[in-house]
Amino acid sequence: MQNIRNRPAKLLDDSHAAVVELQSALDLDSIWKSCLKLVRNQLPHRSCSLMFNIVGFEPTSAKHHVEYSRNPDYVPATSLTISGPYLERHPKIQLYTYSQIVSEDPDAMRRRVEQEPDPEWTDFVHLAFWRDEQPEAVLSIHRPPEQSELSSDDRAFLEYLHPMIEASLRRIRALEQDCARRLAYEDLLYRMPIATLLIAQDGHQLFATAEGKKLSERWNRGLRETAERKLSLPENLIHLFASSPQAVGGKTLKLHHPHIKGLTATVERNLHTAALRERPCYVVTLADEHNDESDDSKASAQPSPEAWTALQKLSPTERRVALLVAKGLRNDEIAEHLCRSRRTIEFQLNSIYRKLSLSRRTQLVLALS
């Protein structure tokens, strides 16, 4: 993390909070908001944009701010058309201006006119952030005509800003990679043929394999009397451990279902992680020793040909969402499972409904049952 004490002399007091926000940003939106605060405080500009998801020197996403404009509907161009050839010749360049590009590539003026026939700027400055040999993001600042040239203070500020943004982008990339790995591990564990639940210290379920989810639901459905609800899993694990004399050394407890013959739950307490709230404190292993379910009932749980046909109409991501809906997960649970926002899941569900000619969640569940 860059030391605030090494900031440029021009850095205003109002910018200190934005520096801290940028240094702790965990998503692109936070990076953008803190960058915008800093630029607005420090650098005269007409507009400011953060362009990202760059493919072939063309951004596919961007965030904009227009400080002032002759046209109230003005939106800066989301493009690297002007600077693309320059970036190809200068890989990994961090700071450059339109004036620099034109001095080396006079054809850039033609590209500028094609992009914006009536531009409201005379110069821009770009901070470029690279991943390998390709730009990952570009912060574009369009300068007002009366202050088109960068002063030494302006340049010092931008050189101070660049490594902070770069560190935040690296942090986000690492988080995304960690999330992808976690999803891969969870998906692998979920499909393993073992019936296991991982329970946190406060009693909430952290994870369940597919078999574990099925058998725990069967366990709870089989509790007929109100008094038997104290045996429900995983809600009453802590109470069961505290009140049961059968707990071996306070670490292991084996429960037999009161009505379903052969259905057992072995609960192990992991004392080494009990102090860590989000680490598994209890491991529940369920077993159906008599395997009451017939082969016919197992076969009926397989997706029907109609369900497979429906799934083929969806994208891979939409299939995952649809299958999680069919398993009974709520939108917020699906969002957490897939490391997406709830709004993204809702958008994908609407797309699924449209492709399958459905209008409700229950119809989707029935279509995939």
Domains in the chain, CATH or no CATH each: 4-180 (3.30.450.80), 192-299 (3.30.450), 303-368 (1.10.10.10)
pLDDT category at 303 given cuts 50, 70, 90 is low
Q: Closest Cα partner for 44 from 116, 179, 145, 129?
A: 145
Q: Kindly give the pairing relationship between strand 263-269 and strand 134-143.
A: unpaired
Tell me if 123 sits within 8 A of 149, measured CB to CB.
yes
* Max CA separation in the chain (angstroms): 85
Distance CA 329, CA 13 (A): 47
Residue 242 has pLDDT above 70, yes or no: no
pLDDT of residue 167: 94
Q: What angle do CA 296, 324, 206 make, to 5 degrees?
A: 105
How confident is the model over 183-234, as pLDDT tens digits?
A: 888 888 788 888 888 888 777 888 888 888 888 888 888 887 766 777 888 7
Distance CA 369, CA 361 (A): 12
Residue 132 has pLDDT above 80, yes or no: yes
Distance CA 43, CA 95 (A): 15
How confident is the model over 33-44, as pLDDT tens digits?
A: 999 999 988 888
Residue 47 has pLDDT above 80, yes or no: yes
User: Which residues, in sequence order, are bridge partners of residue 264?
Assistant: 256, 287
pLDDT of residue 13: 56
183-191: Cβ within 8 A, 24+ apart? 183/337, 183/338, 183/339, 186/337
pLDDT of residue 261: 84
Residue 298 has pLDDT above 50, yes or no: no
How confident is the model over 143-185, as pLDDT tens digits?
A: 887 776 888 888 999 999 999 999 999 999 999 888 888 888 8
pLDDT of residue 280: 57
Tell me if 78 sits within 8 A of 68, measured CB to CB.
no
pLDDT of residue 290: 65
Distance CA 198, CA 280 (A): 5
Residue 313 has pLDDT above 90, yes or no: no
Which percentage of the chain shows pLDDT scores above 70? 84
What contacts 67, CB < 8 A, 6 or more positions away?
40, 45, 46, 47, 48
Q: Which amino acid is at 100?
A: Q
Distance CA 2, CA 10 (A): 16
Q: What is the DSSP string of 234-276?
A: TTTHHHHHHH-TTSBTTTEEEEE-SSSTTEEEEEEE-GGGTT-
Crossing angle (nearest 10°) for helices 361-368 and 342-356: 60
Average pLDDT of the residues of the chain? 82
User: Which residues, in sequence order, are bridge partners of residue 288?
Assistant: 263
Residue 2 has pLDDT above 70, yes or no: no
